Amino acid sequence: MVSRTAVSAAVALAEEHGVRVREPVVLNDSFNLRVHLRPAPIVARIPTVTALGRPRPAEALERELAVASHLHASGAPVVPPSDLLPPGPHVRDGVTLSFWAYAEHDPGHVPAPDTAGRMLAELHAVLRAFPGELPLLGPVLHEPVRLLELLSGKIDPDAHDRLRTAHADLVERLGTGHGTGQGETEGGQAGGDGRAAQVVHGDAHPGNLLATPAGLLWNDFEECMSAPVGWDLACLSRTTRLDGRAAVRAYGADPDDPELRAFVAARGLQGTLWVLVRALRFPEHAAGARAALDAWLRDPTGATR
C-alpha cells in the first residue's frame, strides 16, 4: 500500500509538470523507494523506512538536493537532481519525494580500493566549498534517538538497553553541544574529536559510487552533514564490498588512526539500528536484522562485520 500510494504521487507530480509517465518501474524498495518514471530519464526518490527515523524527511531531502546541486555545478562526478522538472522536495498526498536524473549503471561493478579512496578525497575537496550550513553530526547524534524509540518493545530489552547506552556514550565522545555547532574553529565546526568539520557525504561506501557510461558517479547524499572527514572514512573502512583499509590509505589517511575508532563504532551502531527498523516494515528482513544485532552485541566497536 505504501509503495502504491508513493508511486501514484510521483507519477501525478511528474505529469503535472509536463512529464509523461507510461511505465513507472520500481528500482529499489528498501530504506527508500526509488521509481524510474519511464520513459523519462527521471527517478523519484521517496523516503519510506528512512521517514520512520526522520519526522521531517523533507529537510533531509532539501539538504541532499542542495549538496548534490553544488557538486554537480562544480563539475564533481555525481548523479544530479533532475533538470526536467523542479527536483523538490515535494509533498503530495502525504508522500515526500524528490526527482533525480536517471543514471543507468552496473550494480555489480566494484571500484578498486585506490579508486574509491582517491574519489572520496576529491569529493571532500569540492565539498569544502559548499556555501551552506548543515547539522553537525546530525544523522549520528540525533537520528538514533528516534530509532531507539521505534525499537522499544520490539527487540530484547537487554539488547535495547545496550544499544541505548552505547549511543549515549558515543554522543559524549563525539558531540559538541549535542550538534548545536558549538566549538567552531577556523575552517568549520569542530567535531568532538577536536578535528575541524566540513560537509561530508555521510554514507560514503562503494555501493553509492555508481558505475555509469559516464564513469563512476557518487549518489545518495541523504545523510550529508557537517562532520570530521573521519566519519566518511569510517563508512568506507567498514564496507564489505572492497578492501576498506586499502581505500582509506588511498585517501591519504591511516586506517589505524585512533581518532577513527569512535566513528567506526558509531557507524556500526547506526547501521545496526537502521536494519532493525527496516525489519519493522519488511518482516522478511527480520533474520538479517537479528544477525546484525547479534554481530553488534559481540563487537560493539564496529571493527568487525
Query: How many other β-carbons are positioned within 10 Å of the β-carbon of residue 287?
Result: 10
Whether residue 289 is predicted with pLDDT greater than 60 in this model: the reply is yes
Question: In the block, which residue shows the cell 541532499?
Answer: 64
Q: Containing domain of residue 51, as a range?
A: 2-101
Provide mean pLDDT across the span 53-74: 95
Check the CA dihedral 101-135-137-33 and report its sign: negative
pLDDT, tens digit (0-9, with 9 covering 90-100), for 176-188: 533 333 233 333 4
Whether residue 292 is predicted with pLDDT greater than 60 in this model: the reply is yes
Residue 106 resides in a domain:
no
pLDDT, tens digit (0-9, with 9 covering 90-100), for 133-186: 999 999 999 999 999 999 999 999 999 999 999 999 999 999 753 333 323 333
CA angle, 290 then 265 then 179, to 5°: 115
pLDDT score for 4: 86
pLDDT, tens digit (0-9, with 9 covering 90-100), for 242-252: 999 999 999 99
pLDDT, tens digit (0-9, with 9 covering 90-100), for 75-105: 999 999 999 999 999 999 899 999 999 999 9
Peptide bond into 89 cis (omega under 30): yes
Percentage of residues in the chain with pLDDT exceeding 90?
A: 88
Provide mean pLDDT across the span 259-266: 95
Question: In the block, which residue shows the cell 520512520?
Answer: 52
pLDDT score for 3: 83
Provide mean pLDDT across the span 40-56: 93
**Helix (H), strand (E) counts: the chain:** 11, 11
Q: Of 70, 101, 132, which residue sits at a domain end? A: 101
Please count the structural domains in the chain.
Answer: 2
Indicate whether 59 and 123 sit together in one domain. no
* CB-CB contact of 231 with 200 (8 Å): yes
Residue 197 resides in a domain:
yes
Residue 201 resides in a domain:
yes
User: DSSP string spanning 234-261?
Assistant: HHHHT-TTTTHHHHHHHHT--TT-GGGH
Check the CA dihedral 71-77-80-83 and report its sign: positive
Q: Of 101, 134, 167, which residue sits at a domain end? A: 101
Residues listed for the chain: 305
Q: What is the C-alpha to C-alpha distance for residues 220 and 235, in angstroms, rounded to an integer?
A: 13
Residue 305 resides in a domain:
no
Q: What nine digits make up the cell of 231? A: 566519519
Indicate whether 159 and 282 sit together in one domain. yes
Residues 6+ apart with CB under 8 A from 30: 49, 278, 282
Q: What is the C-alpha to C-alpha distance for residues 288 and 279, in angstroms, rounded to an integer?
A: 9
pLDDT, tens digit (0-9, with 9 covering 90-100), for 209-262: 999 999 999 999 999 999 999 999 999 999 999 999 999 999 999 999 999 999
Question: CATH number of the domain that 226 lies in?
Answer: 3.90.1200.10
Indicate whether 142 and 26 sit together in one domain. no
Query: How many other β-carbons are positioned within 10 Å of the β-carbon of residue 129?
Result: 11
